[in-house]
Structure 1
């Protein structure tokens, strides 16, 4: 019996208790401060780049990119009037809490991306002498001029994020958004064709089961770091997870409200006796309420169950620890994305796979299941895609198209019902 089977029931019991609400009879519940989920440790913002330094303004304090949506305020503040024009008695702290709560509808990475868009937008406005009151609410012509001014400097995807970042800033501060969507769409399409070649990422090589086995042979799974890395790799591969969903950005940034802990593992058995291990992601790029990902045990050395059992046995974790923490000489370390990818790069360098990218794990897992004959709609659900964007993997990687291209296709029966129409 592995670590997971032995300890899983106690982990489920530890997370099944529902906290009870107690009536506060001594004071109104709104007379006390109700804290929001804990934030990462305070960090100092880095200096602005020489080419992206905004003019000094009390409306735009120097802060972290992820805080700019809320802390960079328009010259026109959020209205405190009701529908009759009467002033509602709210304090500045009440208004700030509105902004803080609404800002939490975006994942931290999204807030950071949108914060970058605000920086570029305001530097553009500074260079054109646009007065503060014209920046928000911004006219359609100003936003289009901004997008056109950035065309040829950034990728189409980056400019699209910048556009939505400015939109989110207007929504957050309750100011009207009057940009012509049709004109904006045409401008963004034009900007894509003008994007510099340097803005296009090189095609990511997909991980394969063979590559997982090669990495396994290069690691020492009796050591804490390697045990954690291989368990994280196999779990990410077979759950088709994004690299950042099972790792943390930095050693001090682990937060149980945002990142996977040991207690987020569940084990399920269906009516046919098939066993599945489920991981609850507390928060993802596309869901602030979290999502489930899952795998089943596999045969051979790429088995994620064996890798996870080995990791939990070697690293002696408690239910509240980050799932892929590892024992370091200075104490328990949550596995960071940087440490994870560096370890994989070092393990695969001698085999000619030294330029591996994290997203290749998600691509590789998708291709592996497709080549096994898993239907596209099932893959869409498992990969948590809201669109058919993942089908682009077929256009970029000949390994999944090869069986279909033969004069007697290997997957001919599968093609009849699996290919999207």
Structure 2
């Protein structure tokens, strides 16, 4: 009989553990001290709600009956005690699917809700899991002071907070929708944003006239505007929030730009966005092709890359500052556009107007609605709101002899 040990019983001591590995892009140490609460939005002191950044409230503000904290002392013989480190890891993994802006919005709503509960002396155990009556009372109380979209986000945040901490969500979706619809109708005029003026190729060309395309920053700004416009992208997807916030796993780099051709050898420039609002983990792809005229994104990008040379891992629109390579922030771009708008007597242009403008441009060309929807990466038909605001988009479809009649029935979105 052989004395050798079978493979199945050989101790595996040299292989690294696959458990509890360090999470990529895990929550970094806080580098910003949370601001003081506003006088009208200050919660009562509680160990359940430490003073922290808004984006951290979803994770750090815990309900008193959090099921993940229950151990075998609860009477369940099969229950497993969850350590503090394990709990934090669970919360971090679950919360990583939310974009930073979503965490900020949800955190703001959670604060408003807790202040409401403090004001009305609602006991801690009644706040989570929340009852339909308390949620509807909260939303109704806010109606008239907050916009409908803000309250919808707050309700979504409360639901996400319950899910994150293992609490049941007991709210009837039909009742919630009726309340949110009513709150939206009662929203104060001051909470409603003015319609954003869309960018157009002509406006982009007028902006170009006031830029020095041999200047590193201006070259980067113009390339970013034209790329965002013709790719129907959010401006924040091609810029960074601040000079110190660049992360190559979240922000586009020069290595994320590729050239592709279809079977007819038509060229397309593709941009891989590692993390977006709609897909923070897997990212999304957007693209454009060269255009005619002075708003051509290819010419603008080529000029930028020629002037602002950098390594493949650099941010796509980083530019050469006297002190070294500098990130292009959204604030820097919008500030420059605002200056030009004032000088050139252009409409009041905002960053979101770039995506709106790109959408309208393709629709006005008669590009099928489904194609524009795919380019803009919309998961719903929400983008068709632009049709109601701009009658000229549907003008070709409503003539006595529609210019696009031969494929109108294939491309028009459903009527709601």
- CA deviations over 1:121-149 (Å, ceiling 9, x no partner): 00111111112121111111111110011
- CA deviations over 1:167-209 (Å, ceiling 9, x no partner): 0000000011112222211111111111101111111111111
Could you tell me whether the CA contact under 8 Å between 1:242 and 1:362 is conserved in 2? yes
Unaligned runs of 5+ in 1: 1-23
How far off is 1:243 after superposition?
A: 1.3
- Alpha-carbon distance in 2 for matches of 1:126, 1:39: 29
1:271 aligns with 2:263: yes
1:204 aligns with 2:192: no
- Alpha-carbon distance in 1 for matches of 2:220, 2:411: 35
1:34 aligns with 2:27: no
Could you tell me whether the CA contact under 8 Å between 1:258 and 1:283 is conserved in 2? yes
1:10-409 to structure 2, matched below 5 A, reads: 26=14, 28-30=16-18, 33-37=21-25, 39=27, 42-79=31-68, 80=70, 85-288=77-280, 289-404=282-397, 409=402
Q: Which has the larger radius of gyration?
A: 2
In structure 2, relative to structure 1, the CA distance for the partners of 1:30 and 1:81 (3 Å cut) is farther
Could you tell me whether the CA contact under 8 Å between 2:71 and 2:81 is conserved in 1? no
Could you tell me whether the CA contact under 8 Å between 2:27 and 2:92 is conserved in 1? no
- Alpha-carbon distance in 1 for matches of 2:413, 2:136: 36
Could you tell me whether the CA contact under 8 Å between 1:214 and 1:348 is conserved in 2? no
How far off is 1:391 after superposition?
A: 0.9
Could you tell me whether the CA contact under 8 Å between 1:373 and 1:414 is conserved in 2? no
Could you tell me whether the CA contact under 8 Å between 1:265 and 1:278 is conserved in 2? yes
Cross-structure match for 1:12: none
Single out whichever of 384-393 and 164-173 deviates more from structure 2.
384-393
Name the Cα RMSD after superposition: 2.0
- Alpha-carbon distance in 2 for matches of 1:389, 1:133: 38
How far off is 1:28 after superposition?
A: 4.5
- Alpha-carbon distance in 2 for matches of 1:155, 1:401: 29
How far off is 1:334 after superposition?
A: 1.1
- CA deviations over 1:330-389 (Å, ceiling 9, x no partner): 222211111111111212223322510111111111111111111011111111111111
Aligned to 2:149, the other structure's residue is in SS state helix
Aligned residues: 398
In structure 2, relative to structure 1, the CA distance for the partners of 1:89 and 1:400 (3 Å cut) is same
Aligned to 1:277, the other structure's residue is in SS state strand
Could you tell me whether the CA contact under 8 Å between 1:345 and 1:354 is conserved in 2? no
- Alpha-carbon distance in 2 for matches of 1:416, 1:92: 58
- Alpha-carbon distance in 1 for matches of 2:58, 2:317: 32
- Alpha-carbon distance in 2 for matches of 1:214, 1:38: 43
How far off is 1:84 after superposition?
A: 5.6
TM-score by length of 1: 0.90
Unaligned runs of 5+ in 2: 1-11
How far off is 1:398 after superposition?
A: 3.2
Aligned to 2:394, the other structure's residue is in SS state helix
How far off is 1:420 after superposition?
A: 2.1
- Alpha-carbon distance in 1 for matches of 2:399, 2:210: 35
Could you tell me whether the CA contact under 8 Å between 1:114 and 1:165 is conserved in 2? yes
How far off is 1:329 after superposition?
A: 2.2
Single out whichever of 80-89 and 230-239 deviates more from structure 2.
80-89
